Chain A
């Protein structure tokens, strides 16, 4: 099944390389929703997410010849979307990390109880309230599946900074979910 999906995508990519407009649209439709959500979680608003999505697809379609089938198209376009989103974030400057958060937070090791039952909506709202830097690292790690080395490369920070940012982001999110903030 997965192989069939990859082959279907490779067929579409071949048609795109030949200039087929319909193939471009079909490829865009396959990935646009997922990629828009990736961008939105990093930039935190619809306008910047739309711009990042648009720039990423234009860049991907113009550089399809440099796409190598050793990575899936999904992973390739996601990396472009993430890069465009981080650039957008840097353009408008990161929200500064609160002064009292500038220390390392230890990884939470014990399961933690939450005041109310977790729901997708509550967690989403909590993530959206996080400062840009925290939200980006937490999204890239927990939702997009990148490891700390990859996050370090994407965001131009060290692996250890990525780890400590994630710990702080999770701590902040827990506080938000427990209504402490």
Chain B
């Protein structure tokens, strides 16, 4: 059985901690642990601040720039896409027409020139994707126009040629 004194001490435990240490104790601890020149390197707050500044700087340097690039890119690309769609459709129509005219006989010298232009077009298109510029866009449009011109010439000569064939073999046209 615990006596009155023991019970009293346990019940009033916190009241026994009434002395305060001198401020000098912390000053000595601080001096011994040598927080000083070296501590800035280990200072978490400082590193956090540095991380926030670095992050903000990255956002300023990368994201806004990226938005500007993508904005100019998107305007240029949109314009080009419309032009490309229009001329590509024209080319397809004309190629189909020539194909029908030649009746699967191939396009001879025309085919070679046309394929070269197509290959150049693919190279230019790749360039447009990597670093879009007005120069590349113009070159692409020019390529499309040259191909259309070439197709027009071919169609024109075929149109001339076909009636003469029809004249030679009138029975096949009916």
Residues of A at under 8 Å CB distance from B? Answer: 15, 18-25, 28, 32-34, 36-37, 40-41, 46, 49-50, 53-54, 57-58, 61-62, 108-114, 118, 120, 123-124, 142-143, 170, 173-174, 177
* B1 and A58 within 8 A (CB): no
Q: In the complex, A63→B12 CA distance in Å?
A: 33
Contacting residue for A20 out of B18, B20, B22, B43, CB 8 A? B43
Given A37-B19, A108-B3, A174-B5, is A54 in contact with B29 using a C-beta cutoff of 8 Å? yes
Given A37-B19, A109-B1, A112-B5, is A142 in contact with B10 using a C-beta cutoff of 8 Å? yes
* B4 and A62 within 8 A (CB): no
Q: In the complex, A37→B68 CA distance in Å?
A: 66
Q: How far is the CB of B130 from chain A (nearest CB, A)?
A: 45
Q: B6-26: contact bitstring with A at CB < 8 Å (1 yes, 0 no)?
A: 101110110111111110111
Contacting residue for A40 out of B19, B30, B42, CB 8 A? B19
B49 interfacial contact with A, CB 8 Å: no
Which residues from chain A contact B169 at a C-beta distance below 8 Å?
A: none
Q: How far is the CB of A145 from chain B (nearest CB, A)?
A: 9
Which residues from chain A contact B3 at a C-beta distance below 8 Å?
A: 108, 110-112, 170, 174
Contacting residue for A36 out of B9, B21, B24, B45, CB 8 A? B21
Task: Report the tally of A-B residue pairs with Cβ distances under 8 A.
Answer: 105
* B19 and A111 within 8 A (CB): no
Q: In the complex, A32→B21 CA distance in Å?
A: 7
Q: In the complex, A53→B32 CA distance in Å?
A: 13
Contacting residue for A50 out of B25, B38, B42, CB 8 A? B25
Which residues from chain A contact B1 at a C-beta distance below 8 Å?
A: 109-111
Q: In the complex, A137→B11 CA distance in Å?
A: 19
Contacting residue for A111 out of B4, B29, B33, B44, CB 8 A? B4
Which residues from chain A contact B38 at a C-beta distance below 8 Å?
A: 19
Q: Which residue of B lies closest to A34 (CB)?
A: B17
B39 interfacial contact with A, CB 8 Å: yes
